[in-house]
Copies of this chain bind each other. A is one copy, B any other.
Amino acid sequence: MTGQLANTVETAYEYLRDRVVTFRVKPGERLNESEIAATLTMSRAPIREALNRLIADGLVSFEPRRGFFCRRLSISEMAELYAVRYDLESGALRQSLAAADGGAISAFVQKWRFAGAMRPSDDIDAFVTADEAFHLELAALAGNAARLKFLENINNRIRFVRRINLETRDGALDEHHDLLDAVDTRDATAAQQILRNHLDRSAEEVRDQVQQAIARIYADDVA
């Protein structure tokens, strides 16, 4: 029974990350180590190791002698993460448009120009995934792996709110196409501006979306 071929900590890490990111664990809820260990049929040790990794990811918090807790949905934190996300995506955009290699850029534009028939109302999960992929691939053109890691971390943390944002504002897809046009013509300032309008959230917008998120977390039957 001891000799698991697959990495136990990794299993626990991904399981827990998924539960926390999707808020299947409620915000602020304590994560019972023994319970999780029983669910995954492993001991508490790998669970704790995984939870400590999630601390560094900013996905769970920790209080001594009390345990690990699911992150809370904070309006200010979401706004902050959106601002950081703009910093990073904007920097990637500037870098990749300034760089010489136009082949990758053209390929990116080609790929996404004709891939945008999806509507949020169809399948929201798939739409969120596609949205993340679009932005990540755009950022990836700059060829900076470290930046991508940070962006993936941000994506995990804002995903729940992002989904609601995509549901609410149907224009997201059009903005992607405008962005593609600017990228295609290597118009850096236009691209930056579109990206900024695309990502800038007013305080009220974020507050509304976080409220909707919280409502949805606590009640499955919210419209």
Contacts and interface: CB of A to CB of B under 8 A. Distances in A.
Given A52-B49, A150-B84, A64 B7 contact: yes
Given A49-B52, A56-B56, A91 B84 contact: yes
Nearest to A92: B87
A111 B158 CA distance: 36
| Copies of this subunit | 2
A45 interface: yes
Contacts of A48: 45, 49
Interface string A134-169: 000000001011110110000000000000000000
A53 B54 CA distance: 8
Contacts of A144: 80, 83-84
A86 interface: yes
A146 B87 contact: no
Interface residues of A, number: 33
B45 A83 contact: no
A87 B150 CA distance: 12
Contact of A83 (B77, B84, B91): B91
A90 B92 CA distance: 13
A58 B90 contact: no
Interface of A: 7, 9, 45, 48-50, 52-58, 64, 77, 80-81, 83-84, 86-88, 90-92, 95, 142, 144-147, 149-150
